A and B are shown apart, each in its own frame.
Chain A
Amino acid sequence: MTSGRGIAARAALSSFLVLGLVFILLPIAIVVVNSFNASPFGSWPPPGFSTRWYTNMFENAGFGDPTIRSLQVALVSTVASLVVGTFAALGIARYRFFGRRAAQGFLAAPLIVPKIAIGFAAFILFLKLEWYGDFLTVALTHLVITLPFVVTLVVAGLTRVDRTLEEAAMDLGAVPRQVLLRATLPQLRGALVVAAAFSFIVSFDELDASIFIVGQQNNTLPVAMFIYMEKYQDPTLAALSTILIGASLIGALAVAVVIARIGGLRALAPARETAPEEAA
């Protein structure tokens, strides 16, 4: 593969990758530049630069409350999802019982159903129960949406847990709760951190289901941004987006560091006890 043709093919492939990365980064870069655009219509190229959209965002645009609400919803639903999901994963991975596979499939079902349908269905349910507009209904819906990810990641993580450590703990007289907290959970660290990050991001960015259930005065941030963008086109949204991009970059870096420390993405995959069938 060291022929001239091979080198040309390799160069073509690499340039394609670079073009692909430009495609991925272009809209994000444009948003950042546009947040300093002096023109209120976001005209391009910017006729001048200004920071007034940042001022406008903080003072007038009304994104403050939605941001706080989104953070609260994401925090509550992530913690709930981690606890409920880890219990479910332990049930699935550690016990053999009738209906186990059906239960596992059922918990994954919200992945397949379009989120807009889940949101609309939940909206009718909460209206009937007269819970509509309550903060907890949004967190509860996000819990159900994020559970499949947590369960999948933790079930995969459990296949890598060294059972001898748990047995040793039991032999030394630890009660089941101590075994869980001291022997099992520390080994699940990586899976739990990634599951938490994933749930938080999914909840914080959730729009399709939330748009029906948040209630008119209680918008979460993505809903507020969606409604703002339908009405206005000025760069206030770019200023807000730039701050969110900055925050997500920091978040992405943090997750990347954690993944690297637990031994790469492979550490998240389920352990294989037997060789793949193809190798037989």
Chain B
Amino acid sequence: MSIAPAPPVPARRADRRRFEWRGYVLLSPALIATSFVFAVAMAILLSYSFREFSQGTIQSGHSTATWRAFLTSSFSWSVVGTTLKLGIVTVVATALVGYPMALALHRLSSRTLRYLAYFLIFSPLMTSVVVRSYGWALVLGDGGFINNLLLRWGVVDLPVRMLYEFSGVTIGLVHILLPFMIFPILSSLQQLDPMLEQSAADLGAPGRTIFRRVTLPLTVQGVIAGSQLVFALAISAFATPALLGGGRVQVLAGQIYTDVGGLDWPNAAVSSYVLLVLALAAIALFSAVLRAQTGTARANWEYAR
């Protein structure tokens, strides 16, 4: 799931000239499995995107008809729009919720409490997405937990519709993806030299200024890395939009599922590749931002010296 940083690789140049057969032998089972189930299958999928579905069957022969139909249909674009909106809103919400949580976690002085909080944050990752979506359906439904409280306290007269709405899907996704935002932020906080914050305090900077000028700029990389992960996972999410959107929140992943069920494989193949291109573009974009940010941070550091 993660776009984990590659481990340090020494002596890269030496790779070019060597043909160490033992390396190839060790890698071959993994390469064969991945080539077969992933690469060959994805290539077949690509070829299906150049077929056409009409009169209830997939026509023989290749054409760009399905691609053209997808790219000129306003429905397709609205699905792409909803998918991207879901990705963006989820990233913003997880960052706004995740950053203060990570900061609070980092500053907890009690070791026991810190481990307990870690455990509570990361153990839901082990619970199935279906279970957690089901939980949110119970919490957000018209007769659910939240509406029951709101009605009883007289905050609203009618139940607030959240289940089977965009808002419900977003809440469910934020819940599922929050750990993927907290973890990178936490590790950037751990790499932050506490002396920097201490020096700023010694020089008389108030807490808010220290946060704005020292802590946040030096940990924004964690936010970008977390956003990259959360965005890529949010736009590809299938179960949560399907279960909490109830057919009213149409995203690409759900569209693929519906089309496969309706035997329109060519259109499902096009949607799959559109989703893949969106994920790749987003990952490239966030990586570029991360590089630019690292460059700026280093330049500032050099300048300050």
Contacts and interface: CB of A to CB of B under 8 A. Distances in A.
B15 A248 contact: no
Nearest to B45: A121
A116 interface: yes
Given A13-B103, A87-B30, A124-B48, A114 B275 contact: yes
Given A1-B207, A27-B175, A88-B30, A226 B283 contact: no
B288 interface: no
A244 to B, nearest CB: 6
B41 A125 contact: yes
Contact of A110 (B34, B145, B178): B34
B44 A124 contact: yes
A208 B239 contact: yes
A122 B141 CA distance: 36
A241 B131 CA distance: 6
Interface in A112-135: 112-118, 120-125, 128
B254 to A, nearest CB: 9
Contact of B18 (A6, A94, A98, A116): A98
Interface string A54-79: 00000000000000000000000000
Interface string A240-259: 01001100110111001000
Interface in A232-280: 233, 237-238, 241, 244-245, 248-249, 251-253, 256, 270, 272-274, 278
Given A113-B276, A116-B272, A120-B272, A85 B128 contact: no
B127 A114 contact: no
Contacts, number: 301
Interface in A74-119: 83-85, 87-88, 90-101, 103-104, 106-107, 109-118
Interface in A131-163: 140-141, 143-144, 147, 149, 151-152, 155-156, 159
Contacts of A168: none
Interface in B153-211: 175, 178, 201, 206-208
Interface string B108-146: 100000010101111111111111111111110101110
Contacts of B42: 113, 117-118, 121
B132 A27 contact: yes
Contacts of A85: 30
A258 B124 CA distance: 18
B27 interface: yes
Nearest to A247: B126
A93 to B, nearest CB: 8
Given A23-B97, A117-B45, A273-B10, A211 B257 contact: yes
Q: Which of B38, B45, B268, B272: most chain A CB closer than 10 A?
A: B38
B9 interface: yes
**Chain B interface, >50% SS class:** helix
**Chain A interface, >50% SS class:** helix
Contacts of B123: 248-249, 252
B88 to A, nearest CB: 17
B304 interface: no
A71 B257 CA distance: 25
Contact of B131 (A17, A92, A95, A245): A245
Contacts of A238: 134, 138
A169 interface: no
17 contacts: A20-B97, A21-B117, A27-B136, A44-B143, A90-B26, A98-B19, A100-B23, A107-B30, A113-B38, A114-B236, A117-B45, A205-B127, A208-B238, A229-B133, A230-B242, A249-B123, A278-B301
Interface of A: 1, 3, 5-6, 9-10, 13-14, 16-17, 20-21, 23-28, 30-31, 34, 41-45, 83-85, 87-88, 90-101, 103-104, 106-107, 109-118, 120-125, 128, 140-141, 143-144, 147, 149, 151-152, 155-156, 159, 201, 205, 207-208, 211-212, 221-222, 225-226, 229-230, 233, 237-238, 241, 244-245, 248-249, 251-253, 256, 270, 272-274, 278
Given A101-B9, A112-B280, A121-B42, 19 more contacts: A20-B100, A24-B178, A25-B120, A31-B138, A41-B143, A91-B25, A91-B26, A109-B38, A112-B276, A112-B279, A113-B38, A147-B33, A149-B1, A205-B126, A205-B129, A211-B238, A230-B242, A248-B123, A251-B126
The 8 A-B pairs with the shortest beta carbon distances in the complex, nearest first, are A27-B135, A91-B26, A95-B23, A114-B236, A17-B104, A121-B41, A88-B30, A117-B272
